[in-house]
Amino acid sequence: MPAGNAAQTAGLQPLQFIVAASTAGVGLFVLLALKLGTGGAADQPAEPSLLTPGALAVAAGALILRSVIRVRLQAAAQARLASLPKDAEVEAVLWLLYRNQVLISTVLLEGPALLLTTVFILTGVIANIIVALLLVALMSVRFPSEAQFRTWLHQCGWQA
């Protein structure tokens, strides 16, 4: 973000807070589930259940949808770049697209991670908590920063 664009710089901190709160909330729920265990669910004989396959399918669907949305928003940014002159206003529009992409990507992983953790508590199937931990890790890998925004701009074809 350009040093002179106070609106974008000010918008980065709330975005970071939202992503951090979402990631930390899910992460704490996963850790709490690991600490408390399954409430005896793991001690009971395994019954055929659709909870684990269903939760894993939701997680897989969210990962696919997250990738599709990321590509679509990047394509929208590239289309904007092709039609507008290169100035600070274009970068402001691209900032909004980047912000939306970060928020949508985070939320799409948050729900399945919570679902998988809940299914782990109910069934005791360890695959659920492993996938939930992977989703939390994915949420934290792309933490929004000025450097991440610049990388995203470059991937869209923007040369400031």
Pseudo-torsion of CA 117, 122, 124, 125, nearest 10°? -60
Give the per-residue pLDDT at 11. Answer: 77
Indicate the range of 5-14, 116-125, 128-137, 150-159 predicted with least confidence: 5-14
Residue entry with tokens 């980065």:
12
Alpha helical stretches, state H, 37-50: none
Reported as a single tens digit per residue, the pLDDT across 54-68 is 888 999 999 898 888
pLDDT score for 2: 44
Task: With beta carbons less than 8 A apart as the criterion, state whether 106 and 23 touch.
Answer: yes
* Most confident region among 9-13, 84-88, 91-95 by mean pLDDT: 91-95
Each domain of the chain, given as residue ranges in start order, spans 26-36+70-152
Instruction: Please tell me the pTM assigned to this model.
Output: 0.76
